[in-house]
Amino acid sequence: MHETSREIARRLAERAIDVCRLYLPNGKRAGDYWIVGDPHGAKGRSLFVRLVGPQSGKGAAGKWQDAATGEHGDLLDLIAAACRITNHGDARDEARRFLNRSSPHPLLTTGRIHRDRTQAAQRLFNASQPIASTLAEIYLGRRGIPEIAGLGALRFHPRCAYRDEADARPEPWPAMIAAVTNDDGVVTGVLRTHLARDGRSKAPLAAPRKALGSLAGNAVRFGDAQDILIVGEGIETVLSLRSVLPSLPLAAALSAQHLSMFRVPPTVRRLYIAVDRDDAGFRAADVLRRRAIDSGVNAMRLLPRRKDFNDDLVSDGVAALTASLAPQLALQDRIALRQFR
């Protein structure tokens, strides 16, 4: 009996990392995702493949999306694109040839891996300490963010293991640990920002930021979103906005890809999207804005003068950032600006 395309895609999802390494060799792993430029395997960071997750439904392993174009699909679709196969039967044959090869990695169910990574993220966050009087506070201060009250989503670990590669020997580095949560406040993942030994900058490592757990759709949250929310990519970006809009809730999606996937809380009626001034940032903001508008949310962009709002804050100061933001806000929200309080 011949397997259906759905059955083949499910089997491919169980070996998602092997599929990506073979068919998308120009990409690289980033936490629970494989990041590459497009479905044909070009270098870049626009397309992301979920490596772990449940077998079906939201967050399923093997699902992918290209933030630049909005294309999405499963690993069978991705194999067809990478091999430039246009016939569905030929794509299934290629996938079967792959599946008949022995896997170089022990097979674990993707659901098991997903649970293990989420639990590991929760353990790391629980093992970390508040950021007051730590290198994380020094780091944020150097980024123009001295006020740390109310930043419960951020903690500090003095000896957080860092690996260049999965099989490399771990090296301890101090790290700021950010809790990624879903709409219910459950920790689904963490972002580790490894810091220099004196806390004055990020650590001099190949990839000082590393994610663990489930990020897609979720975010690092500051404040409780009701009818209004500001969402952006980076933690430093949204905390820069907090310096002039201290009463408004914010969320950091942690990358352009994840910004495009962010799930807007159902209570939110007005959404501000803090844009990073690069191609990926504009594309991700546009994808999220269209999704939000389609669901009945009034979604607006906030544009920095420089690359991002942290650059604006550090280079130009609070007063200039306030002046830049004021005309971009709805009239009813301008009262939240610090200068009007």
pLDDT of residue 221: 97
- pLDDT classification of 339: cutoffs 50, 70, 90: low
The CATH code belonging to domain 5-99 is 3.90.580
pLDDT of residue 264: 95
Least confident range of 39-53, 150-164, 260-274: 39-53
Mean pLDDT value across residues 207-223: 91
Res. 1: pLDDT tops 60: no
Radius of gyration of the chain (CA): 21
Is the pTM higher than 0.75? no
pLDDT tens track for 120-139: 899 999 999 999 999 999 99
| Mean pLDDT over each residue of the chain, to the nearest integer | 89
Res. 215: pLDDT tops 90: no
Domain ranges in the chain are 5-99, 111-213, 215-341
Tokens of 40: 């044909």
Percent of the chain with pLDDT over 90: 59
* Nearest to 152, CA basis, from 173, 181, 178: 178
- pLDDT classification of 341: cutoffs 50, 70, 90: very low
The CATH code belonging to domain 111-213 is 3.90.980
Res. 159: pLDDT tops 90: yes
* Nearest to 302, CA basis, from 224, 248, 226: 248
* Nearest to 156, CA basis, from 137, 141, 143: 137
**Longest distance between any two alpha carbons in the chain, whole Å:** 71
Percent of the chain with pLDDT over 70: 94
Least confident range of 80-89, 159-168, 285-294, 296-305: 159-168
- pLDDT classification of 111: cutoffs 50, 70, 90: low
Q: Cα dihedral angle (223, 229, 235, 240), rounded to 10 degrees?
A: -90
> Crossing angle for the helix pair 75-82 and 16-23, nearest 10 degrees?
10
pLDDT of residue 296: 94
- Which residue in this structure is represented by tokens 């430029």? 37
pLDDT of residue 239: 97
Taken in order 81, 23, 35, 33, is the CA torsion positive or negative?
Answer: positive
pLDDT of residue 71: 87
pLDDT of residue 290: 93
Q: Cα dihedral angle (168, 173, 175, 177), rounded to 10 degrees?
A: 40
Fold assignment, 215-341: Dna Topoisomerase Vi A Subunit; Chain: A, domain 2 (3.40.1360)
Distance in angstroms (rounded) separating the CA atoms of residues 6 and 88 = 12
Res. 340: pLDDT tops 70: no
**pLDDT: which is higher, 27 or 302:** 302
pLDDT tens track for 75-105: 999 999 888 888 888 888 889 888 887 554 4
